[in-house]
Structure 1
């Protein structure tokens, strides 16, 4: 999963995730401790008006919707703009909270039928599926859509299929492949059937099948790198305009989309107008004011910051318009045990005891924007979260216990270490978080020198086996809500990369851990798998190879005319496929 071709893309994705949870410190009138329109009370949003069809939904985002091509997008069934245009074999359940972490059928009649050992997955397409031009969607269109995602010209999307499909590691896409059958590990025995042959058991294939690489693409309409300008829609909306490389996307209804075949998307608005590349402060100001079209506007990537939440009090109208979301993401201290003194478990344990998570959470924006973490897996059932705390020190740390462990490690008078972090202002590597760690460790007799690096330099350093420091601040987000894409890239020894981006910071290559990852991947019962991922997380956590710090929380505002707010724990983002405008 960590081959050289994919890891820089993963790093880019993590950087974008960090940016999207970053706080914008401006003084607009927003409610402090605002009530969430999330899992518990999203249904109350706009209770004075039932959802109805019509109108224009405006989307105001910081990050431009670049590379609007299903092969190049890195998205997995969330509630963002691509889901309006691209349908996939499966998608996520469009429901609030934990209910929204489940894969459900989309183009397919079910979530897939596995062979006994989960190495072969079979899908059947629904009846009546059509592209925007009225032509039928066939299994060959989905196969071709997947195959073109292997082309070097269309890199950027999730790389799992290259790792999972037989022959995927050598396949170079349809533009260089002159064979009649294409990628032979994807069979299409008829227009409605797809059969996938995998290198090894993968019980989470239905979750992977939510990725946009599984969207159908008609071969005759493929224009290569220009396809993003007008991709052929299989969803409820089609692209009318794409200017500025995704800075302005205008979508209108796809007349050949049928809600009868799509139980998850509602497509209430007539038009969706996406404006991106905007300053986060401007986005939040426009949403708060709600003038003109902004009254019917949402954002899918811009968080409220601590200053915005703290400067306002008691505005009940705005309180109702702040949604709370949780995405599976963990910020942590990463150890490289190859570097002294972190080769000694007692030193790593001492740091784990010394960390003051309350001060770290405050540095990350406060309890409204971050929740303390004691496990590497996020605090969600779908990941297998257990709530374990292998080094219990409370919210403020235990410097006395840390000193005991340092003495045991041979440092009775304390020690000096270096903590590497990025100078970029984001949750994952924030200088403020680094300072909070520095202050906490000082109370335990650990003097911390902070080494801030420009963000690109930081990424190149911490993901290089040769240059990786002994201690740095990191962050990891899941491609879908499961322990698999969370634990395997970080702790599977077979994913250690020597000559490119490496994410196994501890360089852990434990045969027992590797074996358990393989065993869990065979499971098609995801509830059982989640329990196993949680147990594995606990086992790894006892080795103090990292110190979990906090999980980010999304606080996002929406316009006053928005109705039917749904926020799931899949990605913590307001689902625009559910939104109606007043």
Structure 2
């Protein structure tokens, strides 16, 4: 996922996941050594391996009780809850309770996850030429009203995702992957057009996807909510997001957009066919737009209904002492799919390689993290471009990439002198109307100047930053494009490297404006391999990019955290989303 869809980064280094939160508080709040970001993900186990033979029902957590109300209070407000086009972590988390998809992630007791069949009988069947994926639906699947889920309903849901003029901001992989996807405008604008990229056979419960190119990791893509069913007769177009039809363990009782969502049990959900979800609370109540600090304090206190409440806004600085002390058992923390290089994307067309390497050596990562209030619940120092939990991935040490994150200005200055680049001008935008970003700027510029750089920092209001860094004519040479970090859409290298390093990307839409045909070919070759063979290849490529191209200074791997009341149980962070897995939480 692009960070614009899943992260609310500041230009300083602090970030807040729209779904799972982070510490975007202006006070540091974490000065003691015990509260500093840690590197516990250095050897994090791989997550989301394929488990095509998984069967329902999902195992009920030990000691779990049924009944009661689970309340989720969050600062973030869902922007779009339409299953065909939603593209936010928090929204996807919510829709997992209401919307089954062809495939799905199952978070296991050890916190790792696997990709399992959901509506489909397996993880798909690929044709010999690699250009077709076929899925067969399980028997007896029903909507909340008891009507059958049909293959054509899933086709219709995917077709709706092409209605980008009516519903902008959703995923766009289908336009690249599916045959004819580059010209199709969706079923509302082109109701009489037969889209060549999908065939559905309701009689046999089969849906077939015809691809424009090989996509070996298509089963991961099939977990997106657009691959759930939407009956055409029930489609209310842009209003569908206000009352979508359920196929999961819960259905909508009441939704007040921007304020609250009440889910109750869906009696037509079939537990026996669902390997990923349980149906434990009677009611799941979401309340949006809540003050993060007040919510965190109330849940930590766990009085009355707060004891059965949870927040996915992360660990607010106001409760950090409790979260690391007496009430640490009320916090769940784990990997997220995100990696940050905040303000440290380096334009490879404007900054010479030897200078990029010196920037990497001088960069004051840890000081920036401390100044902006990041704690061990927000980030883990990391060196790879990929999040470490991708199956088969190894975080290989890159030559020239600092082991520590403190910055070495003396060494960087020597590197500039040797290259004849002492005084090289670095320019970047930063947000000048927020205390945390001003704190970071007060650290970043002196550190770079001490290393022998000339710094031209351009302060702009936060409301203008995104447009500035994506301007193809931006006068700056750092922090442009995807200038803050990347969150993968699924745990495979094909959803990371081509999306940010392809030579085909328009200026300042990727990372570092890399223009390297050899790299393009290597990425395409790896993506064409069977998915189980890709991990080591992407690992080696990740190392190569960090050594030979240096398009960014990788700062840290993101983390997801949640605070919950004393009567909330089995809270685990989904490592592929950085938010709690709500499918198996119970209260009591």
- What band does the TM-score fall into relative to the shorter chain? 0.7 to 0.9
Cα 1:418–1:509 change in 2 (3 A) is closer
Partner SS for 2:87: coil
In structure 2, the residue matched to 1:345 is 353
Cα 1:61–1:452 change in 2 (3 A) is same
Measured in 2, the distance between the counterparts of 1:524 and 1:125 equals 24
In structure 1, the residue matched to 2:520 is 514
Instruction: Point out the more displaced range, 211-220 or 288-297.
Output: 288-297
Contact 2:78 2:91 in 1 (8 A): no
Superposed, which structure 2 residues align to 1:90-489 within 5 Å?
A: 90-95=103-108, 99-100=112-113, 102-151=114-163, 152-179=165-192, 182-191=194-203, 192-243=205-256, 245-300=257-312, 302-306=313-317, 308-309=319-320, 311-312=321-322, 315-316=325-326, 318-332=327-341, 333-339=344-350, 342=351, 344-368=352-376, 369-382=378-391, 384-395=393-404, 396-412=406-422, 414-423=423-432, 430-467=437-474, 469-472=476-479, 473-489=483-499
- 1:562 alignment partner, one of 535, 555, 568: 568
Cα 1:171–1:366 change in 2 (3 A) is closer
Contact 2:92 2:225 in 1 (8 A): no
Contact 1:22 1:426 in 2 (8 A): no
Superposed, which structure 2 residues align to 1:52-67 within 5 Å?
A: 52-67=65-80
Deviations 1:404-429 (A, max 9, x none): 221122134x44433322347699xx
Contact 1:21 1:554 in 2 (8 A): yes
Deviations 1:25-81 (A, max 9, x none): 68999x975999x999xxxxxxx9811211111011111223221022115799721
Partner SS for 1:450: strand
Contact 1:28 1:308 in 2 (8 A): no
What is the count of residue pairs matched by the alignment?
Answer: 550
TM-score by length of 2: 0.86
Offset, 1:456: 3.5
Measured in 2, the distance between the counterparts of 1:331 and 1:434 equals 17
Measured in 2, the distance between the counterparts of 1:459 and 1:78 equals 22
Cα 1:183–1:345 change in 2 (3 A) is same
Offset, 1:111: 0.9
Contact 1:354 1:398 in 2 (8 A): yes
Contact 2:74 2:288 in 1 (8 A): yes
- 1:528 alignment partner, one of 533, 554, 560: 533
Contact 1:24 1:303 in 2 (8 A): no
In structure 2, the residue matched to 1:3 is none
Matched, 1:23 2:24: yes
In structure 1, the residue matched to 2:56 is none
Instruction: Point out the more displaced range, 274-283 or 475-484.
Output: 475-484
Cα 1:314–1:385 change in 2 (3 A) is closer
Cα 1:128–1:433 change in 2 (3 A) is farther
Offset, 1:576: 1.0
Measured in 2, the distance between the counterparts of 1:308 and 1:424 equals 26
Cα 1:25–1:298 change in 2 (3 A) is farther
Contact 2:161 2:170 in 1 (8 A): yes
Offset, 1:98: 6.5
- 2:578 alignment partner, one of 565, 572, 576: 572
Cα 1:453–1:483 change in 2 (3 A) is farther
Deviations 1:159-201 (A, max 9, x none): 111111111111111112232x732210113441011011111
Partner SS for 1:320: helix
Measured in 2, the distance between the counterparts of 1:433 and 1:164 equals 40
Offset, 1:517: 1.7
Offset, 1:360: 2.8
Offset, 1:557: 0.9
Measured in 2, the distance between the counterparts of 1:424 and 1:536 equals 38
Deviations 1:503-546 (A, max 9, x none): 22422121111112211222232x32122212111111122221
> What residue ranges of structure 1 are gaps of 5+ in the alignment?
1-6, 41-47
Cα 1:260–1:35 change in 2 (3 A) is farther
> What residue ranges of structure 2 are gaps of 5+ in the alignment?
10-15, 46-60
Partner SS for 1:202: coil
Partner SS for 1:252: strand
- 1:553 alignment partner, one of 559, 575, 580: 559
In structure 2, the residue matched to 1:540 is 545
Deviations 1:378-427 (A, max 9, x none): 23343724232332434223333312221122134x44433322347699
Cα 1:250–1:313 change in 2 (3 A) is closer
Contact 2:561 2:578 in 1 (8 A): no
Cα 1:313–1:253 change in 2 (3 A) is closer
